[in-house]
Amino acid sequence: MVQSTFNLLATRLLPKVLSVEAGKRLSILVYHRVLDRVDPMRPGIPDVMGFDWQMEVITRYFQPLSMMDALARLDEGTLPPRSVCVTFDDGYADNLIHALPVLQRWNVPATVFVSSGFLDGGRMWNDSVIEAFTASDKTIFELPELGFEKVDITKPETRMQTCYEVIKRIKYIQPEQRLEKVSEICKALGSPKLPDNLMLTRDELRLLSKAGIEIGNHTVTHPVLTAIDNQSVLRELKDNTRDLQDVTQKPVKYFAYPNGIPNKDFNEEHKNIVKDLGFEGAVTTEWGVSSRSTDRWALPRFTPWDKSPQRFAMRIIMNMRSLR
């Protein structure tokens, strides 16, 4: 079934769109997690089976490259047609447990951008919110300070939608205030027990690095850079690099902006800080592809969340037209 889908893709769809100058353009995909099974509270996150066929598509119909090779060949003008880099943000334990075996099966290089402050039992604020909604036995969510008045969250779909609306409303407030809000949200949901094994441990990070996965800088505490002063930005980047190098005993060459939307989550000053610290490249979450003329410290990324191989591949190819 999957093979016949691939054959259909190759014979009918790819030739129609390959007029794009694919040999001069680099797609960088961004993932966060790979789950053991589909999670209705995380509808955009692939499970192992989905990630497996995605990496098979990447191997069969694209050219997977490491960040180092891709950027070097982009500069040299020798980038292969339909080149793709695979990246992960944040540093989740399932990058090692679920993603790595698939990457190794299909021989796909990858870069994992790690927020070092969450290693060894930490938890990102948005995961605290998601996990609290998941574990709560409450049927009504009420938090007037955020504009929620007795919202019925009995149905899974409504629970999920309410959860992500909560995340959206507190995403851009100051980090300290945001943590206070997260505490209030958890309390409103009955203070359920939350997991402490979502993120990599230092030992797991070391194993990931030894397996050949490039480890990149993603700050220590994952702040929106525009929400903190430049001295704090500098400290976040320097401390993260030190933390990661202490674990991996390897240089940290690349950086991923938290949240990653240009001119909203970071600006020109932040790009200059990244450049001055000696990083060889930095990635955003702005959709598009890169060429030799793309700003090396604002490389676009995207991920097609399509549920079938042909649509997944077509989305990557169509994105190649969005040159930044």
Domain ranges for the chain, please list them: 2-120+197-319, 125-188
CA distance 240 to 238: 5
The per-residue pLDDT for 8 is 53
Give the pLDDT mean for 260-285.
97
- pLDDT tens-digit readout, 90-132: 999 999 999 999 999 999 999 999 999 999 999 999 999 999 9
Between the alpha carbon of residue 173 and those of residues 4, 170, 178, 227, the distances in Å are 49, 6, 6, 8
The pairing of strands 214-217 and 148-152 is unpaired
**Confidence tier at 153 by pLDDT (50, 70, 90):** very high
223 closest CA partner among 177, 192, 268: 177
The answer to whether residue 6 scores a pLDDT higher than 80 is: no
Alpha helices in 136-219 (DSSP H): 156-170, 175-188, 202-210
For residues 305 and 217, which has the higher predicted lDDT (pLDDT)?
A: 217
pLDDT of 174 reads 86
Phi then psi dihedrals of residue 278, to 5 deg: 90, 10
pLDDT band with cut points at 50, 70 and 90 for residue 175: confident
Residue 187 has pLDDT above 90, yes or no: yes
At what angle are helices 309-319 and 48-61 packed, to 10 degrees? 60
Give the model's pLDDT for residue 11: 44
253-269 residues labelled b (16+ CB within 10 A) or e (exposed): bbbbbbbbebeebbeee
Mean pLDDT of the chain: 93
| CATH architecture type of domain 2-120+197-319 | Alpha-Beta Barrel (3.20)
- Kindly give the pairing relationship between strand 111-114 and strand 214-217: parallel
Q: What is the pLDDT of residue 206?
A: 98
The CA–CA distances, whole Å, from 197 to 120, 125, 154, 182 equal: 8, 14, 27, 19
Torsion from C-alpha of 162, 118, 53, 29, nearest 10 degrees: 90
What integer is the mean pLDDT of 25-53?
A: 95
In percent, how much of the chain has pLDDT > 90? 86
pLDDT > 70 fraction of the chain, expressed in percent and rounded: 93
